[in-house]
Amino acid sequence: MSLKKFQLTILGLILAISLVQCVKKTPQAGGLVEHQGYAVKFWGYRTSVLVKAGPAEIDAYNSDAGNLIQSGGNVGLKIASGDKFEKVGDRVVYQSELMGKALTISCVMAKYDPGKEQVFVCLLNESIMAFIRYQMKPLGQNSKLTIELEVEETNPLLTEMIEQVKLKETVMKLQDEAIARLQMHFDPSLKREDLQSENLRGEPIEKLYPAHQATIWINAPATKVAEYLASPAFTEMMKQKFNIDFDRAFMDQKPGTYRLSVNFLGTESHPDAFILSYQKEKHIIAYWTAKLNSRIQIYTKPRKGGTEFTLAFMTESPSAVTMELANIVMNNAQIPNIVEAALIEIKTAVEGAV
């Protein structure tokens, strides 16, 4: 084994151990905060096709949110808001109806590397997270296009309505139709029935992402908790005590894109935060792009005359192993301790104001 391969193997082992440690924290007896580590399962499939167009042309095609509508005619997909995906943070909301059930799909462009990669983070009915990843590679005057779809299989906000519709079959059908239409757009000689008769042309994929949640009980109604999170006092507390500047991400109380400022264990970064869903007194769902991308969820629900407050975070496993990433992941093992301290600060502030 070469020295480089040996080093990468060791780094991979460090990374795996560190990711596990990120989601393992045993609560102390009688502690205020309860911790739980778990894995979030995503299912989907990956399709690679040849497109008779250059990467820039495919970029331009994908920037038009209306192209998805045309491919989704069989499920009545229409745009509710937005119309373009031209830059990071652009958001489009689609609406449809399946088996008599309303379906809303909100998508945000989370990454854009022109001519190479586009990543969209989507939320189905304000609850189920999905990723759509486009990767392009020039092949002469053509391009190899790989589309990867991931849909969260389990979610605490999964509603009975979503369980009743054939969600997997529906999103796979949408992707099949979208790919066929894209190919025909650049090559009119292709026929839809020939392309779609191949059915699922890709390969099934399944991914498990490490996650951790911490829960605390607050002796105050959910309205008071929500008011505190939306107040400048909460944003200032997080900035002063935990070196995280959320900008107006919580104060605006609505979906949006924000540039954060974080100083974590001496390392400064400025990740983008996408607030995907903000339902006051119920939940906040956000996606945070950094060296290790993360999903942040906050839930509140009535319990024992007060409010059960839960913060959950999921970390995407890196596609490549480097020493920098290994160090970041090891530092991230401290996150449960920081989350616990932040929850106690929130509890103290809210109860002190009641």
pLDDT (tens digit per residue) in 19-41: 444 444 444 434 689 999 999 98
Same domain, 14 and 138: no
Check if the beta carbon of residue 161 is closer than 8 Å to that of residue 287: no
Q: What is the pLDDT of residue 331?
A: 59
Q: What is the pLDDT of residue 350?
A: 96
Tokens standing for 333? 């093992």
Tokens standing for 161? 């309505």
pLDDT above 90 for 59: yes
- As a whole number, mean pLDDT of residues 44-63 equals 92
Same domain, 178 and 247: no
User: What CA dihedral angle connects 39, 40, 43 and 46, to 10 degrees?
Assistant: -80
As for how many domains the chain has, the answer is 2
The answer as to whether 311 is a domain residue is yes
pLDDT above 70 for 44: yes
Give the range of the structural domain holding residue 340, as residue numbers without chain letter. Answer: 3-31+208-353
- Give the pTM: 0.84
Same domain, 77 and 135: yes
Q: What is the pLDDT of residue 93?
A: 94
Count of CB atoms situated within 10 Å of the CB of 346: 21
Across the chain, what does the average pLDDT equal? 82
pLDDT per position as a tens digit, 293-336:
899 999 999 999 999 999 999 988 766 555 555 555 555 667 88
The answer as to whether 88 is a domain residue is yes
The answer as to whether 55 is a domain residue is yes
The rounded distance, in Å, linking the Cα atoms of 63 and 134 is 12
The answer as to whether 36 is a domain residue is no
Q: Which of 31-35, 86-90, 242-246 has the lowest mean pLDDT?
A: 31-35
pLDDT per position as a tens digit, 179-206:
888 999 999 998 877 776 555 567 888 8
Same domain, 175 and 75: yes
Which of 201, 235, 261 finishes a domain? 201
Q: What is the pLDDT of residue 60?
A: 93
User: Percentage of the chain with pLDDT > 70?
Assistant: 77
The rounded distance, in Å, linking the Cα atoms of 109 and 88 is 5
Both ends of the chain: CA-CA distance in Å?
64
